[in-house]
Amino acid sequence: MSDSPMILALSCPDRPGIVAAVSTLLAEAGCNIRDAQQFDDLETGRFFMRVVFDRLEGARRAAEIQALVGELATRFGMTFTLRDTAARKRVMLLVSKFDHCLADLLYRWRIGELPMEITGIVSNHDRQHIASTDLGDLPFHHLPVDRQNKMEQEGEVWRLVQETQTDLVVLARYMQILSDDLSAKLSGRCINIHHSFLPGFKGAKPYHQAHERGVKLIGATAHYVTSDLDEGPIIEQDVERISHRDMPDDLVRKGRDIERRVLARAVRYHLEDRVLRNGRKTVVFTD
């Protein structure tokens, strides 16, 4: 048996025989399915599937399995990803002044909860603003942003993404709106944490907006970044009850805990190939 399992994630127009075809292909390639999840979207007529499998003794090589799945994809009109879990995804973290999400992600990475390789940390503020977070020897890039240099600094971010072969960009409370151009370049591989339960309270100071409206629940939303502000496909959300006694500062304090856990779950789901795009929505195969 191979040392590490492989993950196949796919979507295609729904039709009979998809599960049988995938299972047969893996069995004939000398693989054993460890876990499988599937979903038929009756509204869109699309089928989604995630399969975790081991290669047994004498199994086809990973490249051969990739080619076989490619042939199956042509037959069923599939889009798919196939990955050996030994190959960890490369992640770049972007942050501004508030570093609670960054600190949480780094802690989870260090204890092995988030299987990723960190390619760097980018901030529009200098390192002193996140002095409470131990960055260790991780590469740190200070890219201050103002109205005059915003596009230039975005170009530098994109250069770093390409240079480091980054697979995923995480906006860990990075308080800059990405341009349409950079959003398009990072489509499907840039996760943002927004400090409200979308689609409510978009944009700036959502906790203050929530307080003004007298809501009884506050939340946080992790979503993929698109050119439409806070409109990208949602990956994960959570909420916490509040009361009339809570002032905006209380909401900010309570919100930090929600933001941390929501972003961490969303990042892990992406790293483990559990998130499949479904138009403006996502299918998330949770564990």
- Residues classed as catalytic: 230
Ramachandran quadrant class, 47 (left: phi over 0; alpha: psi -120 to 50; beta: rest): beta
CA distance 47 to 130: 43
Ramachandran quadrant class, 206 (left: phi over 0; alpha: psi -120 to 50; beta: rest): alpha
- DSSP assignment of the chain: --SS-EEEEEEEE--TTHHHHHHHHHHHTTEEEEEEEEEEETTTTEEEEEEEEEE-TTPPPHHHHHHHHHHHHHHHT-EEEEEETTSPEEEEEEE-S--HHHHHHHHHHHTTSS-EEEEEEEESS-GGGGTTS--TT--EEE----TTTHHHHHHHHHHHHHHTT-SEEEESS---PPPHHHHHHTTTSEEEEESS-TTSS-SS-HHHHHHHHT-SEEEEEEEE--SSTT-SPEEEEEEEE--TT--HHHHHHHHHHHHHHHHHHHHHHHHTT-EEEETTEEEE---
Please name which of 278, 280, 284 lies closest in space to residue 79, comparing C-alpha atoms.
278
Tokens found for residue 89 = 């995804």
